[in-house]
Structure 1
Amino acid sequence: MINYEHFILDNGLHLLVHEDHSSKMAVSNIIYKVGSRNEIAGKTGLAHYFEHLMFGGSKNVPSFDGALERVGGECNAFTNTDITNYFITLPATNIETAFWLESDRMLQLNLSKKTIETQRKVVIEEFKQRYLNQPYGDAMHLLRKLCYKSHPYQWPTIGAEIADIEGFTEKDIRSFYQQHYAPNNAILVVAGDVDSEDILEMAKKWFGPIPPSGKKAKTIPVECAQQAKRAQTHFADVPTDTLYKAYHVPGRLQEGYLECDLITDILGFGRSSLLEQKLVKNTDVFASCNAYVLGSIDPGLMIFTGKMEKGKTAEEAEKILDEVVQEFIETPISSETLEKVKNQAEAMKTYESIQLMNRAMNLAYYTQLGSPDLYQIEYDKKTKITADQITAAAKKFICEENASVLYYKSNNSESQA
């Protein structure tokens, strides 16, 4: 359990303080409850684009990084489907600098034409380098579009296509900022060698005067249940075939999610996993194979992915993958296997607790899910799941009518002939 104090300012900002006096450092972690799920078709990639804009300076801070470096701090950020997360590490004696920097860009970000165009070029170049010019780089674009027909999860965080980023208008950008970058859409966690009352006073001083957003959140489309298997074949200049097979699963807080998480732990986590042992070590088809769930707020995906050995096809790989997964479904899970994956979960939780930043991020993340206590509640619930519950979830969600398959094939594939 992570100790914390939880406050809510009059403008809706959630503030959590985690005191840890074992070092002289502090961290500031602020989550904005906005990700690619809050975008609409034709204007995709805005949430990620804003992650870049937020480092372009604000009214009183021309250089965010420069101001932070002068007090011995460092920072970074990430965006996913559901949130955008900004974090700072610095000496605890300089924690108020983090408040100054974060409050200034929340209230009065620099959205000059120069900044907008500079960051637009940066994001477009990132799109090209990471997703278009990398082998298999567009795989998740293709797979998401295959899996989702209504929900915004149908495009990755970077956006659906470069044309969307090129088309952002100043009105689009300012409207997005005014709606999502407001105190009532944010969670601030301060952790380290700090005092809760001091931090609360700083929060009131720097964030208290910022007005909440009065804009109503857009309704997010609901994805209809999939009724039949979907498949797509895509050829590209890649060394070997790769298989991507996805199944729709519950969202992070829904019944069945944790069981699905344990399914992929058993099948695909580590060198002793079933997929590694049966498909990689004991066949000449798979060069690698793993499984994971996307822990998204709305219903997400359980994904199996594997790269083929040269000359082997994604279609034959799917066949033997299905056989191994079906055998898993039909075979009772041993107590040893169940204990092993739960021990792995405990080890991961223990490892996460070592780093101050991880504790701050977890407090922020679970608060935006509903309560910081969900971190412990979720773990306790996961440790009580039985083998029968895991098998029942596997039978429910791992079925062909719920599957979407991307055969990502090499142009040199023999099957193209």
Structure 2
Amino acid sequence: MRRVLGAVTAAAFLGCAASREAAQPTPASPAPEPAKVEAPAEAQAPKLQVPVEYYKLDNGLRVVLSRDTTVPKAVVGVYYNIGFRIEPRNRTGFAHLFEHMMFQGSTNLGKMELARLIQKNGGMFNGSTRFDFTNYFEIVPSNTLETMLWAEADRMRGLEVTEENLKNQQGVVANEVKVNVLNRPYGGFPWLDMPQVANTNWYNAHNFYGDLKDLEAATLEDVRAFFKTYYAPSNAALVVVGDFEPEQVKGWVRQYFGPLPKAPVPQLPDISEPRQEKEKRHDLKDTRITRPAFAAGYHMPPVGTPEFYAMALIDEILLQGSDSALYQQLVQKKGIAGELSGGVNELGNQWNYNGPMLWTVYLFHDTVISPETIAGEIDGVVAKLVEKPVDAATLARARVKARSRLYAQLEGMLGFGRADLMASSALFFDDPGRLNQLEDELMKVTPEVIQRTAREYLRSTNRTVLTVSASPQTMLAE
């Protein structure tokens, strides 16, 4: 995760790609064989086929199982269909505050007892708040899987909501805001600041980390109502990845989660964004910095459209890696910056959100370089995508990079990456097997679709330019 709201970082390997078949010797032939036309290398590559079993309990809980016996471990994840962009008005940061509350104890486990239980068994755990979901997960030895399922069902059944716990976590989150944003150079640039200035719909544009006065105003009744509304099995997905016996796990899931009562599924607010017709500019002042910062955010195509998949390849062509066009122009040729950062969904990845999103590029530069110069250089690079379709070599390289990135996301963090994509897809699309179609969708993208996508979504009038300059600090208006 580039920026985190309670996430951990780790790296590991989890084999999930289809294996290659061993090459067979070609038998000798008495006559010369006619020359064969070889298919492109990318067409011959094995396709991702992650095992997925999906079903629902009577109370509405979505259950996703994906068996992998590579190592004796298991990932348990519970995803709730509530993220910070659909939290209640006048309660900015409430979804994130509630994430903290979920570690304060449950019906049968006291405060921090779940943490001690996981750690004593050699596991790791965490939770995070994202645009469209809040998640909780454990990565543990597979022989403790039943215990983890029981523990997650226990806190879904009943959270220990007390005034003491609430006040304590209000203080923790307030300090987190101060440390990570208010008292840090560049603060929330651009992951927190850009959505607030690029979007127009309050749900997408409010300060989701939380205004301190809103955090302090949250009451015990607010917490209890929030839990009852959003933390029901009918608003959640359970995912299990790793070394287990499917029928045994199904029995445990039925035993521990099955008795939980069904609740009405909360109606989600309208989070749509209008088409942007004019470039936006916003400058933040920061007394703690010595170098200016520049970010450009472009509204993304709707999820699942051909243009959406085209943006995954455009991201590789323009921004990702030292071979990318923007890196070559701004870093190698012009020396405007030492590195570039950004991409789709700064708080996750291209595949684990559902709603309006931004493609962002950002950098830090010397004071002699103006924002207009940087924006002009970006426009010059984008113009090449608009003027003519990309060549075959560029498209092939982008596909390889995009596939590599997808595999890395799936294999990351001891199997959590696979669990994340399946759980979010179950929540948003009722289809955790969607990850097995992503490669095919990327392969369908043609040069013409890339050209069309760049023309509509990388136009300057679809862009918000956010800068940070070294002068007295001003606060972002809601």
TM-score normalised by length of structure 2: 0.82
Instruction: Report the number of matched residues.
Output: 411
Aligned residue for 2:82? Answer: 34
Aligned residue for 1:415? Answer: none
The answer to whether the Cα contact below 8 Å between 1:189 and 1:364 also exists between their aligned partners in 2 is: yes
State how 1:4-403 maps to structure 2 within 5 Å: 4-62=52-110, 63-140=113-190, 141-155=192-206, 157-159=208-210, 161-214=211-264, 216-237=266-287, 238-294=289-345, 295=350, 296-354=353-411, 355-370=414-429, 371-403=431-463
The answer to whether the Cα contact below 8 Å between 2:85 and 2:132 also exists between their aligned partners in 1 is: yes
Q: Cα distance, 1:44 vs. partner?
A: 1.5
Q: Return the letter of the residue paired with 1:299.
A: P
State the Cα deviation string for residues 69-105 of structure 1 (Å, max 9, x = none). 2333221122110111211111211111111211111
SS in 2 for 1:65: helix
Q: Cα distance, 1:374 vs. partner?
A: 1.2
1:3 to 42, 51, 54: 51
The answer to whether the Cα contact below 8 Å between 1:232 and 1:407 also exists between their aligned partners in 2 is: yes
Matches of 1:252 and 1:205, distance apart in 2: 36
State the Cα deviation string for residues 292-338 of structure 1 (Å, max 9, x = none). 12243112112121211243232322222222222342243121111
The answer to whether the Cα contact below 8 Å between 2:318 and 2:326 also exists between their aligned partners in 1 is: yes
Q: Cα distance, 1:113 vs. partner?
A: 0.8
Q: Return the letter of the residue paired with 2:243.
A: D
Q: Return the letter of the residue paired with 2:62.
A: H
Matches of 2:374 and 2:404, distance apart in 1: 32
The answer to whether the Cα contact below 8 Å between 1:73 and 1:91 also exists between their aligned partners in 2 is: yes
Cα RMSD of the aligned pairs, angstroms, is 1.9
Matches of 1:54 and 1:133, distance apart in 2: 27
Segment drifting more, 304-313 vs 364-373: 304-313
Q: Write 1 or 2 for the structure with the bigger share of strand.
A: 1
The answer to whether the Cα contact below 8 Å between 2:329 and 2:377 also exists between their aligned partners in 1 is: no
Q: Return the letter of the residue paired with 2:462.
A: N
Matches of 2:78 and 2:271, distance apart in 1: 27
Q: Report the CA distance shift for 1:215/1:356 in structure 2 as closer, same or farther (over 3 A).
A: closer
Matches of 1:280 and 1:132, distance apart in 2: 30
The answer to whether the Cα contact below 8 Å between 2:272 and 2:356 also exists between their aligned partners in 1 is: no
Q: Cα distance, 1:206 vs. partner?
A: 0.8
Where does the alignment leave 5 or more consecutive residues of structure 2 unmatched? 1-48, 473-478
SS in 2 for 1:256: helix
Q: Cα distance, 1:353 vs. partner?
A: 4.5
SS in 2 for 1:288: coil
SS in 2 for 1:50: helix
The answer to whether the Cα contact below 8 Å between 2:313 and 2:402 also exists between their aligned partners in 1 is: no
Percent identity over the alignment?
28
Q: Cα distance, 1:291 vs. partner?
A: 4.2
TM-score normalised by length of structure 1: 0.93
Matches of 2:410 and 2:358, distance apart in 1: 27
1:410 to 456, 460, 470: 470
Q: Return the letter of the residue paired with 2:170.
A: R
The answer to whether the Cα contact below 8 Å between 1:266 and 1:341 also exists between their aligned partners in 2 is: yes
Where does the alignment leave 5 or more consecutive residues of structure 1 unmatched? 413-417
The answer to whether the Cα contact below 8 Å between 1:192 and 1:356 also exists between their aligned partners in 2 is: yes
Q: Cα distance, 1:173 vs. partner?
A: 1.4
Q: Cα distance, 1:279 vs. partner?
A: 0.6
